[in-house]
Structure 1
Amino acid sequence: MRHLPRDHTQTMDQQPTLIILVCYFGRLPSLFNVFLKSCGYNPSICWRIITDDRTPYDFPSNVQPVYIEFGDVQKRFQRHFDFRISLNYPYKLCDFRPAFGLAFDDLVEGFDFWGHSDIDMINGDIRKFLTREIFELHDKVLGFGHMAFYRNTDEVNSAFAANCRFGRKSSSYRLDQLGVLGQKWHSEWANSAAAYERSTQPVHQIIFSNDKYCHFDEWNVRAYGINDLLLDIGKRVYDGREFANLHIPVGHFELSRLTSVASQRPGTPCVFLFKQGQLLRIIAENEELTFDEFLYLHIQKRPMKNNLVGELPDSYLIIPNCFIPVPKELTFKRVKQLGKRCRFYPEYVKFKIRNIKAKLLEKFS
């Protein structure tokens, strides 16, 4: 059994202060308690759950709910802009994430960095991966919507509204860092950047007044976003991909095509182990088990059953579509069987049908 460790020698008094804002409106998902448990294992990081769901939960001491109606959140954003914003449904909040530092200035005050995250995820040991040195050297840490941090300064908090030559610096970076997908769609992305360059409106006004979700908060292989803008105005972006972002079309565990090729492991049987704050992937290959550690697991639209009886344990196994207790013996044969390749995944078919219906409804409405 081979274990790939990571160094973790920093002391907390050297660390920047961090707060993560999670916006969720409507009933919180059934596995919200799993997310909360993983937050509790990162006690030096604060979370604020901005929601209208007042269901009682056992919140860890570093996680606090902020109860607010969606209409009041709309007003928080609108007061910062002299044009009419389009924030008509909760999911559109994703585009507004780069402006969280302004809209929620009362919540982020006093923190060195503020961040945002999704809720369909399990956190690992965040400080182990995002070190003091990374925060010192960068203005934005991580490039995707599921988790990212911004330096809490007036300049960075308002950077989404900056003017620049769109694509001047970001174009070559994308070609180098976004792999085959970035190269495939680069001309479409370049058209997006050129449209912003020609526009008489600033990019944030175009995004924030558009009713559609534009993926402004993260890398988008087809469209210009906040990471591109920050690069183009000379800000420093840390684009580490130490997370496990699941590939939606397959039923087994395979990482998305925007992670490193070595991490994807297409078709290789694997499961994940949450072990008292650590998030480990266990790979069954060549008659042995290999363990590697991740920053977090983004489940990403995948329905998950919970077979954990009673209070959520400190350690559990995550297999495709289910949380289960850790077996007494975690053998090569057992992991290979639990993480075996799924050739047909009906949930993905349902997901595609929902998307097609939504697009047709939008087109003909």
Structure 2
Amino acid sequence: MIIPYIGKFPKYFDTTIYTYSKNQNIDWFFFTDQPIEKYNGKYKNIFFNKITLEEIKYRAEIVSGKRDIECDAPYKLCDYRPLYGEIFNKYVSDYQYWGYCDIDTVFGDIEKFINGPIQKEYDKIGNWGHFTIIRNTPEINHRYMLSIKENGHQINLFNKMTETNDATYFDETSGINKIYQYYGFENYINKDLCGDILYENLDLYSNDKRFVKSRRMCFLWNKGKTYLIYKNKGKILFNEYGYIHLQKRKVFTNFISNLDNLNTFVITTTGYHPINKVNKETLEYWMDENHSSFDARVKYLSKWYFKTNKFTDVKIGNVYLPIKHILWRILKQKDFRI
């Protein structure tokens, strides 16, 4: 796994890499401009290297053959993830697969979900920037340069992406996924690979259609495995995922400072909470804790919908009007909740 990260590590970072370390058959390579002495040698399968944003940009220009690409902000690096197999070739040359992922993640037993497709030699496993792995061959690693035809026109999505510093999601829906779909390349997707959230909601609600309507839920990391814990008809139920993606969580206030001998923690609206036992009483308590007041939930949702342009550019004055998105969530996705 190749993870460049430019800028200060977030408060949850130590917990993130602790969960990575439990997947001991996967090597994780970090490239950062931050001090790395604290992390060197801490885990036998996690390696830290120093790099600058400018150096990554230069390497991207070399392997792609395209000069003067746009990459002036760390977040733009996400668009260049499909190039990492070439940019960091000397680190991945001996591996059958390489990949990329986000760090706002908690990894469980990811191998359980990817070993099968690896044995079948799928070209690509996963469908999102927060976790995708690629079969390591020169031809597959260079597919990001392939052009596709859209609306009767030949388009090179990579060239288009490099012309702007805005995020274009080339690492997933608007780039490499389109290329794979257009050419019919192999892409393995498993509904239990990722436990994702409805990020515009204050409380941690799963966006999995099977569980999105459950009245109470929270996430659990237990001895190297990740679960959605949810309540349905009075029963506490578990669904295992390969990893949890905690996207756009800026409201966390609780983090784990002591990772020594950490076996279990839950994740709720306020963040990460170590627990000693996984039993009915404990899980009931934390599912209840993952439930804010109605006023707080409405205020948080309204901020996402009406104070940002995440879902629409249509606005009156300073108020955005994401009517189409809300209707889509209610009528099409059927996962709207407050």
The answer to whether the superposition gives a TM-score over 0.5 is yes
Distance of aligned partners of 1:143 and 1:322 in 2 relative to their CA distance in 1, 3 Å threshold: same
Q: Which ranges of structure 1 fall in alignment gaps of 5 or more residues?
A: 1-19, 167-192, 361-365
Aligned to 1:115: 99
Aligned to 2:319: none
Shift of 1:41: 0.6
Question: Which SS does the other structure have where 1:74 is aligned?
Answer: helix
Distance in 2 of aligned mates of 1:227 and 1:128: 23
Aligned to 1:311: 259
1:227 has 2:167 as partner: no
2:236–2:280: 8 Å Cα contact kept in structure 1? no
Shift of 1:240: 1.9
Distance in 2 of aligned mates of 1:355 and 1:67: 35
1:297 has 2:244 as partner: yes
Question: Which SS does the other structure have where 2:237 is aligned?
Answer: strand
Distance of aligned partners of 1:68 and 1:353 in 2 relative to their CA distance in 1, 3 Å threshold: farther
Distance in 1 of aligned mates of 2:306 and 2:34: 29
2:160 to 180, 186, 206: 206
Distance in 2 of aligned mates of 1:64 and 1:349: 41
Aligned to 2:87: 103
1:246 has 2:230 as partner: no
1:130 has 2:114 as partner: yes
Greater Cα shift, 78-87 or 68-77: 78-87
2:12–2:255: 8 Å Cα contact kept in structure 1? no
2:272 to 317, 323, 327: 323
1:253–1:269: 8 Å Cα contact kept in structure 2? no
Matched AA of 1:310: N
Distance of aligned partners of 1:53 and 1:349 in 2 relative to their CA distance in 1, 3 Å threshold: farther
Question: Which SS does the other structure have where 2:266 is aligned?
Answer: strand
Question: Which SS does the other structure have where 2:27 is aligned?
Answer: strand
Q: Which has the higher contact order (CA 8 A, sep 6+)?
A: 1
2:222–2:264: 8 Å Cα contact kept in structure 1? yes
Shift of 1:56: 4.0
Matched AA of 2:197: L
Shift of 1:160: 1.0
State the Cα deviation string for residues 33-65 of structure 1 (Å, max 9, x = none): 010110111000000111111154343110011
Greater Cα shift, 41-50 or 338-347: 338-347
2:131 to 120, 128, 147: 147
1:302–1:321: 8 Å Cα contact kept in structure 2? no
1:118–1:147: 8 Å Cα contact kept in structure 2? yes
2:266–2:286: 8 Å Cα contact kept in structure 1? no
Aligned to 2:213: 266
Distance of aligned partners of 1:251 and 1:91 in 2 relative to their CA distance in 1, 3 Å threshold: same
Q: CA RMSD in A?
A: 2.6
2:227–2:239: 8 Å Cα contact kept in structure 1? yes
2:268–2:286: 8 Å Cα contact kept in structure 1? no
Matched AA of 2:160: I
Shift of 1:225: 2.3
Aligned to 2:331: none
Distance in 2 of aligned mates of 1:355 and 1:35: 28
1:124–1:277: 8 Å Cα contact kept in structure 2? yes
Matched AA of 1:76: R
Query: How many residues get paired?
Result: 303
Q: Which ranges of structure 2 fall in alignment gaps of 5 or more residues?
A: 315-338
1:245–1:299: 8 Å Cα contact kept in structure 2? yes
1:281 has 2:228 as partner: yes
Distance in 1 of aligned mates of 2:118 and 2:255: 38
1:317–1:325: 8 Å Cα contact kept in structure 2? yes
Matched AA of 1:237: N
2:53–2:74: 8 Å Cα contact kept in structure 1? yes
1:137–1:236: 8 Å Cα contact kept in structure 2? no
Aligned to 2:335: none
Distance in 1 of aligned mates of 2:189 and 2:214: 26
1:139–1:151: 8 Å Cα contact kept in structure 2? yes
Distance in 2 of aligned mates of 1:307 and 1:229: 39
Matches within 5 A, 1:155-234: 155-164=139-148, 166=149, 193-194=150-151, 197-199=152-154, 202-219=156-173, 224-234=174-184
Question: Which SS does the other structure have where 2:3 is aligned?
Answer: strand
Matched AA of 2:170: F
Distance of aligned partners of 1:64 and 1:309 in 2 relative to their CA distance in 1, 3 Å threshold: closer
